[in-house]
Amino acid sequence: MGDGSALLRGLNPEQYAAVTLPAEAALILAGAGSGKTRVLTTRIAWLLQTSQVSIGGVMAVTFTNKAAKEMLTRLSAMLPVNVRGMWIGTFHGLCNRFLRAHWKQAGLPQSFQILDAGDTLSAVKRVIKALKLDEERFVPKQVNWFIAGAKENGQRPKDVPVHDGQTQTMVEIYQAYEDQCQREGVVDFAELMLRTYELMRDDAALREHYRRRFRHILVDEFQDTNRLQYAWLKMFAAPDASVLAVGDDDQSIYAFRGAQVGNMADFEREFRVKQVIKLERNYRSFGNILDSANHLIGHNSRRLGKTLRTEAGPGEPVRVQENASDFSEAQWILEEAQQLHRSGVARKEIALLYRSNAQSRVIESALFNAGIPYRVYGGLRFFERAEVKHALAYLRLIENCNDDTSYLRVVNFPTRGIGARTLEQLQDAARQTGRSLWQSVGAVGGKGGANLVAFNGLIDGMRNATLGLTLREIIEHMLERSGLIDFYRTEKEGADRIENLEELVNAAEAFVTQEGFGKDAVALPVDEFGPGQLSDGAAAGLPNAVAAVDLTPDAETGEIMSPLAAFLTHAALEAGDNQAQAGQDAIQLMTVHSAKGLEFDAVFITGLEEGLFPHENAMSDADGLEEERRLMYVAITRARQRLYLSFCQTRMLHGQTRYNVKSRFFDELPESALKWLTPRNQGFGSGFAREYQQAWERGSGLNSVVGAGRNNGWQPPAPPPVPAAMVAAQAKASGHGLKVGQGVFHNKFGEGVVITLEGTGEDARAQVRFGRHGPKWLALSIAKLTLVD
């Protein structure tokens, strides 16, 4: 091959020294964007090109699949080698590869399967049930944590110290869980790591083989390794191996999952690192961005201490935008991103970052409606997430009980003792008679059959109980009655899922407001508040969510789609594959956690509000707050040229309107680097008044406002007077002379009773329960109803 000099061109002296280090252990400790990953990748290429190692002799570990792919791409750009054969991947990916090769020695079946987080919890539950233990005392989620924690400490059941009866039983569950996994030939994530570690520890021949093989081991994002990962690394690395660990203590963001920055100190000692290499020049970001990052992280006390400078000049100021609501935030981002795109920035170079997954929905919705391609990383699009799909399936069954797909999705979710055999019988019966699953439950006998009948009863019950309720109330009722919320309360990752289910309620609420479908339409006729009247154009900019949902009344009967049916159509459309195709130029959406290691020309950090970022769960103790600050540091340092920071006065969160104060992080940024796009300290603008009024008009007003205002001690002002236009609209609404409970007669549907009234004037609608035809939504301007007593 060559002398590798072409590869080394352009490196600064410290980087050059790091890339060409002799074969010994080394630690690079350096700030964001200083070229750590570049050094790591270039070193692999250089080692290969100068024939110091063969393709099979290198192992490189990164944290995410995206980062591993990125590394392979960079390598194949540098060298004409087949990178596929190389051991480059995540810890779990490499363990999987190892165990596939050594399944026999590891005591696994050749075709062992991997359990994801959800599968793992179900497996734990089955064990608890099989042992006839009380789920109240042995909460599956906690048992799951216990087992995973033990594995991460390298402990098998026999190694766990037992001090009391409770722990004794936990250990028995752990043992039974292991037996069950072994019987079924499955491994969970922690098991992948532990099994590999143990095999390497116990099989001297194998260990020697790999230690001879991997002469060079390189680990990126070393600050986020946990104890087991570090022990694992020590198994693969011979005492004299050349191990290059690369990290940044300021970017340690997984302490909450057991990552140990202390591993860096251990590494230095145990691998006898001669010198710690520091890289101080940042090549990624312009000065204002870097100043902001440096300033912010300077507020953390526990730091190893590094400096970072750039020679790129100050560049653009960091732009700060205050928004009236999360809707206007999304709208503003969308316009700004479009502007950037028109000025020549590729869409894939624009990243929208958020602290919590649930925040993405409003932004996704705005992008979707504007037809802008986007891609969500590290998570599914909102309407495609499993828990949201489960909830939608219940709603679909309420609307149409013969929807077999939805039926199968939730008939035994959460579990109701309906097994695979019962479902097979049901499907056979349905096939033979050509009827739906719902209609065929009578054909199945035994306990399973009885459980099916009970499930149909549950759906019937929900349908009856939700007649006449608003869309929001229907969804809330369904979430409780179906057992979905209770189910996710016991899950390890359940809190996130519950947030998403609450976000579904918000989605419905937004749908209703935007579509003028529901009671809010009376309170806020959008055209009365024309564009320009609000400082931020929030009303004008509300995304037109349901352009494709047909709400035209039937010309003859006046029947229209129910709000629920309209919403389900909307959800199905949004879940369609508008998400950018692979390779298409698309805006990138992701959480800050999944942005680690990546970089973009323009970055928007959204939702910079107290309680959201920093997150309320982390605000109570100093460690938590420092981790949030590191997370913010990671977010800021993703940007090359432009950085936008935004926050909202109000936000729908967990089904409530929250009134926010801006994040404390703003006080920790250098004023000279910032440019406020909105006047500062204007207090709550007219947008706020409008949101407040909306909440007030909904009747949910004061309580939710006060409840949500907890983080700033803010007290709501007196309710604003109802504008004259609104009073007029309400008067018009009652013009049809109907009221709830009124008996009516319809030419086609016969006699019925009004159960809901909504809308005004031309848009007035009623939900009527007819004796023979069941509940229907009618457009009152078309349906000819006569009053009956």
Q: Which residues are annotated as a binding site for ATP?
A: 30-37
Residues 6 or more apart whose Cβ sits within 8 Å of residue 752: 743, 744, 745, 746, 768, 769, 770, 771, 773, 776
The residue with tokens 């929030």 is 538
**CB-nearer residue toward ligand ATP: 102 or 306:** 306
Beta bridge partners of 590: 353
Q: Of 618, 725, 621, 605, whose CA–CA distance to 666 is shortest?
A: 605
* Total interface residues for ligand ATP by CB under 6 A: 18
Stretch that binds ligand ATP, among 4-12, 543-551, 708-716, 744-752 (CB under 6 A): 4-12
In the list 4, 27, 29, 34, the residue contacting ligand ATP (rule: CB under 6 A) is 34
Contact between 594 and ligand ATP by CB under 6 A: the answer reads no
Q: CA-CA distance, 100 to 98, in Å (whole number)? A: 5
Contact between 280 and ligand ATP by CB under 6 A: the answer reads no
Stretch that binds ligand ATP, among 7-15, 342-350, 379-387, 711-719 (CB under 6 A): 7-15
Contact between 597 and ligand ATP by CB under 6 A: the answer reads yes
In whole angstroms, how close is the CB of 72 to ligand ATP at the nearest point? Answer: 15
Q: Is the peptide bond before 161 cis (omega within 30 degrees of 0)?
A: no
How do 58-62 and 350-354 pair as beta strands?
unpaired
In whole angstroms, how close is the CB of 597 to Mg ion at the nearest point? Answer: 4
Contact between 563 and Mg ion by CB under 5 A: the answer reads no
Q: CA-CA distance, 356 to 593, in Å (whole number)? A: 9
Residues 6 or more apart whose Cβ sits within 8 Å of residue 446: 422
In whole angstroms, how close is the CB of 25 to ligand ATP at the nearest point? Answer: 19
Is 324 in contact with 534 (CB distance < 8 Å)? yes
Stretch that binds ligand ATP, among 36-44, 372-380, 384-392, 620-628 (CB under 6 A): 36-44
Contact between 630 and ligand ATP by CB under 6 A: the answer reads no
In whole angstroms, how close is the CB of 68 to Mg ion at the nearest point? Answer: 12
Q: Which residues are catalytic?
A: 36-37, 220-221, 251, 638
**Burial class for 571, CB neighbours closer than 10 Å (0-12, 13-18, 19+):** buried
Is 600 in contact with 639 (CB distance < 8 Å)? yes
Q: CA-CA distance, 768 to 746, in Å (whole number)? A: 10
| CA distances (Å), origin 207, targets 201, 245, 468, 745 | 7, 21, 68, 84
* Total interface residues for Mg ion by CB under 5 A: 3
For the chain, the maximum distance between any two Cα atoms, rounded to a whole number of angstroms, is: 97
- Give the x/- contact pattern for Mg ion in 35-64, rule: CB under 5 A: -xx---------------------------
Contact between 284 and ligand ATP by CB under 6 A: the answer reads yes
Stretch that binds Mg ion, among 8-16, 439-447, 595-603, 605-613 (CB under 5 A): 595-603
- Give the x/- contact pattern for ligand ATP in 470-509, rule: CB under 6 A: ----------------------------------------
Contact between 12 and ligand ATP by CB under 6 A: the answer reads yes
Q: CA-CA distance, 217 to 59, in Å (whole number)? A: 5
Is 777 in contact with 767 (CB distance < 8 Å)? yes
**CB-nearer residue toward ligand ATP: 36 or 348:** 36
Contact between 247 and Mg ion by CB under 5 A: the answer reads no
In whole angstroms, how close is the CB of 452 to Mg ion at the nearest point? Answer: 54
Stretch that binds ligand ATP, among 29-37, 161-169, 423-431, 715-723 (CB under 6 A): 29-37
In whole angstroms, how close is the CB of 249 to ligand ATP at the nearest point? Answer: 11
In whole angstroms, how close is the CB of 35 to Mg ion at the nearest point? Answer: 8
Is 282 in contact with 290 (CB distance < 8 Å)? yes
Beta bridge partners of 169: none
Is 278 in contact with 39 (CB distance < 8 Å)? no
In the list 597, 614, 655, 752, the residue contacting Mg ion (rule: CB under 5 A) is 597
- Residues forming the site for ligand ATP (CB under 6 A): 10-12, 15, 32-38, 248, 251, 283-284, 597, 599, 637
List of residues contacting Mg ion (CB under 5 A): 36-37, 597
